[in-house]
Structure 1
Amino acid sequence: MRHRALRILRAAVLSSISLLGLPGIAAVTPHLADRTGPIVGLAGKCVDVAASGTANGTAVQLYTCAPGVAQTWTVSDNGTIRNPHSGKCLDVTGQGTENGSKIQLWECNGSGAQQWIHDASAQTLLNPQSGRCLDVTGENSADRTRLQIWDCNGQSNQKWRLPGDDGACTRSVAAGDSTLAVTFNGVRYNVAVHVPSGVGATTRLPLLLDLHGTGGTGAGQLVYSNIKSAAQTNKFAVVAPSGAIASGSGFAWNVPGVTSGPRDDVAFLEQVITTMGSALCGDPNRVFAIGYSGGARMASAFTCARPDRLAGLAAIAGLRAGRPDPANTSQPDASSCRPTRAVPVIAFHGQQDYTNPYEGGGSAVWQYSVPAAQQRWAALNGCGSTPTTAAVSSHVSRLTYSGCRDGADVVLYRISDGGHTWPGTPQPSPGNGTTTQEIDANALLWSFFAAH
């Protein structure tokens, strides 16, 4: 009883403070004029009524934004948030006040479980009865993740954009190199970041996810890929996380269906994008993945699994389209890469690459050829059946599948004298063969992304 009384007292105090507008919480607006539309949160996804249900107790969840009644909400000046389709309200199940109490749809009844206070500066929705915030369970941005209340903590899974909000942001990271923390499954990981100079703090930046090869690190990949110069010229931010499988002096990635490791790297990279999108004032519609070698394999796998988070893929010395088919390793396993939307793809590969051979073979993680990978992406993107080939320079040809769904072309730069290297980088790559200087991969991949 004592704990219950304390909770009631805390709720009453919070509610009174909010309504009186006392110093220190001036940004909190307890009531808003009626506004109708979607409520957008983690990973650019929306507050959603499961299966467009109308019954009391229907789960409220996070889901990819789409037009329809399940994601339409009216934020009223009486503190409620109502789904017009059902006429019912956003409600804390069972009048719960504890961390983890789930959110549901329930008949509007004026109770404290259905009251919400919007803090415009923090972008939070506070339930004053509990003193806790609307929260995406486990910081998980997957479709159908339940919403709950949790201690207000300022994390990205508690930030919400209400109907009519302009989606403004402020970058909290200075220009240049930084190391930022990403929390995933309760573990903090340091992630190398580069922000270009000369960009306003409220200007949304494209984000480029730069994944290192096996045995590398995020910080080392920023150097090897030489991407910072292109980032400054073209004004995009670079995010370079590290794998979690110990490999030599660095790390390897846990590529689905190919390797095994201590961390789900598809889910981890999704959290990296979410966290960095908030910290760097990133543009959720312009997130691109690039990678080298094992990082290219990981970037390819992430594109297969989470195409909704990306606007493009660039693979250097490692394009894949799923794992090798166990029944015929000269072809990709179609069941292991089934993206739900077309994604533009650009790749670079040397024909003298002996680590990930252009014609296939090599280690068990490789096997099928680069042309087979390109052809599979072309099929996934609904492109024409035959690529066009054009000479770019003495040793470089460009193979292009066009006529693709949503304009998602699939392009491969084939380098006849190229090794297991990053075209155009000035960084040495001992033992990996020739690094062509006839083309600059960074300039070409960004031009491709910008055009798509």
Structure 2
Amino acid sequence: MRRIRFLATACTAFALLTAGLATAAPASAASASGPLTGVGGKCVDVAGSGTANGTVVQLYGCNGTAAQKWTTNEDGTLRALGKCLDVTGQSTVNGTKLQLWECNGSGAQRWVAESDGHLRNPQSGRYLDVPGGSTADGTRLQIWDRNTNPWQTWKLPSDGTTPPPGACTSALAPGQYNTPVSYGGTTYQVLVHIPARSAGTRLPLVLDLHGSQSTGAGQLAYSDMAPTADAKGFAVAAPTGAVPSGSGYIWNVPGVTPSGTRDDVGFLRQVIDTLTERACLDPGRVYATGYSGGGRMTSALGCALADRIAAIAPVAGLRAGRPDPADRGRPLPSSCAPSRPVPVIAFHGEQDATNPYRGGGDSGAWAYSVPVARARWAELNGCGNAPAETQVSTHVRRTAHGGCAGGADVVLYTVSDGGHTWPGSPVDNGNGKVTHEIGANDLMWEFFRGHPLPGAS
């Protein structure tokens, strides 16, 4: 089941009326039945399978019983055990608890699904909510003002035969081409690769950011990401920086690139927003990777766009903020303060002469070492365990931090004979050895798919 999105013009299978004023429809008008799931993967449950008016509606571990089988109806009601999900006393006050009640056509029993998974009760203007985000069995559900907490995100059932409630229509067909993105009064062409998919399916998105003096097209070719996207079923966006450099462009990395250039954090946020709508993408499964300067920009997105980027995978460019002017061997703490723990997987060659593994180099923006950056992300993510190191092949070792807040793991693949290169790339860029003992694309995708945004479906 995918994250829900309802439009009266697009979803004939489940036409929830935004005004919530239609007369009650018979139960036979239902489009789907099944669990209604929320935070922690738990289910909306009728306490004790009771059918009496006023029976508590709560969050509970999913168990497949009739008390957790909700039916979506064209009149906007959600029904279980022959009765309706109801706001107690038709109250419109924050914190009013939910109950089961005989279906009566009142506004207290109408629910409208919004595009990002929220369920609104139009009569109160408030939303289905888990108090404090508790995942304890028996937590009684309530209505509350709309917010961005994951405990207001829900998945409704799909019957599996009609397009699911979250289905959408993409304006971008499968293929590889440029598509316009407007930002700051200028329209930029962004290279995208869209794989084949079933109608209505929302795809994950991977931003693939080029290195310095390159372009989006150059990066897509160098990373060889398109075949992986086709095989695994995700969209790729390979935008281009706006600061000319050599034969290409560089990214405006916050605190590093001279001011007065395009705000690339804002621009890449707009790329995400535009493509999510235009290409029918899943906003809970947006990821970023990049090479060299693009890896540094990817790291910056982890710091600044943690609300939109689910996980990051810098290649030959892991950072955790800019160097501290008082001690350039470590990152300045205030320069990377993500709004939540961000899962990180990174790749770096020990023989990298451009962004040296042990720090230093010609770039003043580099300075501290890759292990220091890895350790800083582990600190930011509250990783409680000492890192575990594994030799995965002759020249590749894996260092992984577990026990991190929200499951935000931090993993680094170090290539002992690797240069300033992309593991598994078919292209020799002349910057040292390209290892083929591992493939960055497959490893990062497996990591990505296990780390959606908190609360995402």
- Tell whether the structures are fold-level matches, with TM greater than 0.5: yes
CA shift in 2, pair 1:388/1:30, >3 Å: closer
What is residue 175 of structure 1 aligned with on the other side?
Answer: 174
Secondary structure at the aligned position of 2:296 is classed as: helix
Provide the C-alpha distance between the structure 1 equivalents of 2:22 and 2:366, rounded to a whole number of angstroms.
56
Please say if residues 212 and 294 of structure 1, whose CA atoms lie closer than 8 Å, have aligned partners that are also in contact: yes
Q: Deviations over 1:156-203 (max 9, x none)?
A: xxxxx9x99944321111111011100001100000000112x02310
Letter in 2 for 1:391: Q
Provide the C-alpha distance between the structure 1 equivalents of 2:360 and 2:276, rounded to a whole number of angstroms.
38
What aligned pairs does 1:4-403 form with structure 2 within 5 A after superposition?
A: 32-33=20-21, 84-85=92-93, 166-197=165-196, 199-260=197-258, 261-362=260-361, 363-384=363-384, 386-403=386-403
Higher relative contact order (CA 8 A, sep 6+): 2
Provide the C-alpha distance between the structure 1 equivalents of 2:266 and 2:166, rounded to a whole number of angstroms.
25
What is residue 12 of structure 1 aligned with on the other side?
Answer: none
Q: How far 1:451 moved relative to its partner?
A: 2.2
Letter in 1 for 2:221: V
Q: Deviations over 1:46-97 (max 9, x none)?
A: xxxxxxxxxxxxxxxxxxxxxxxxxxxxxxx9xxxxx9459xxxxxxxxxxx
Letter in 1 for 2:321: G
Letter in 2 for 1:332: P
CA shift in 2, pair 1:34/1:251, >3 Å: farther
CA shift in 2, pair 1:352/1:30, >3 Å: closer
Q: Deviations over 1:315-357 (max 9, x none)?
A: 1000000000011010000000011111110000000000000
Secondary structure at the aligned position of 2:314 is classed as: strand
Please say if residues 385 and 402 of structure 2, whose CA atoms lie closer than 8 Å, have aligned partners that are also in contact: no
Provide the C-alpha distance between the structure 2 equivalents of 1:385 and 1:258, rounded to a whole number of angstroms.
32
Secondary structure at the aligned position of 1:353 is classed as: coil
Q: How far 1:31 moved relative to its partner?
A: 5.2
Residue 412 in 1 paired to residue 412 in 2? Answer: yes
Provide the C-alpha distance between the structure 1 equivalents of 2:21 and 2:165, rounded to a whole number of angstroms.
16
Moved more, 385-394 or 165-174: 165-174
Secondary structure at the aligned position of 2:371 is classed as: helix
Q: Deviations over 1:9-47 (max 9, x none)?
A: xxxxxxxxxxxxxxxxxx9x8955289xxxxxxxxxxxx
Letter in 2 for 1:370: V
Unaligned stretches of 5+ residues in structure 2: 1-14, 24-75, 77-90, 95-111, 116-152, 157-163, 452-457
Q: Taking every aligned residue pair, what percent have the same amino acid on both sides?
A: 56
Q: Deviations over 1:124-143 (max 9, x none)?
A: xxxxxxxxxxxxxxxxxxxx
Letter in 2 for 1:414: T
Provide the C-alpha distance between the structure 1 equivalents of 2:319 and 2:21, rounded to a whole number of angstroms.
50
Please say if residues 177 and 192 of structure 1, whose CA atoms lie closer than 8 Å, have aligned partners that are also in contact: yes
Please say if residues 255 and 298 of structure 1, whose CA atoms lie closer than 8 Å, have aligned partners that are also in contact: yes
CA shift in 2, pair 1:385/1:375, >3 Å: farther
Secondary structure at the aligned position of 2:307 is classed as: helix
Q: How far 1:365 moved relative to its partner?
A: 1.0
Please say if residues 312 and 344 of structure 2, whose CA atoms lie closer than 8 Å, have aligned partners that are also in contact: yes
Q: When you count helix as a share of all residues, which structure comes out higher?
A: 1
Please say if residues 227 and 442 of structure 1, whose CA atoms lie closer than 8 Å, have aligned partners that are also in contact: yes
Q: How far 1:310 moved relative to its partner?
A: 1.3
Please say if residues 379 and 385 of structure 1, whose CA atoms lie closer than 8 Å, have aligned partners that are also in contact: no
CA shift in 2, pair 1:371/1:203, >3 Å: same
Provide the C-alpha distance between the structure 1 equivalents of 2:269 and 2:449, rounded to a whole number of angstroms.
22
Aligned residues: 308
What is residue 72 of structure 1 aligned with on the other side?
Answer: none
Provide the C-alpha distance between the structure 1 equivalents of 2:391 and 2:384, rounded to a whole number of angstroms.
20
Q: Deviations over 1:394-441 (max 9, x none)?
A: 0000000111011111000000000000000101212x0000011000
Provide the C-alpha distance between the structure 2 equivalents of 1:30 and 1:435, rounded to a whole number of angstroms.
55
Structural RMSD (CA): 2.8
Letter in 2 for 1:364: G
Unaligned stretches of 5+ residues in structure 1: 1-26, 36-76, 78-82, 87-117, 122-160
Provide the C-alpha distance between the structure 2 equivalents of 1:192 and 1:251, rounded to a whole number of angstroms.
15
Q: Deviations over 1:357-383 (max 9, x none)?
A: 000001101000000000000000000
Please say if residues 385 and 403 of structure 2, whose CA atoms lie closer than 8 Å, have aligned partners that are also in contact: no
TM-score, normalization: structure 1?
Answer: 0.64
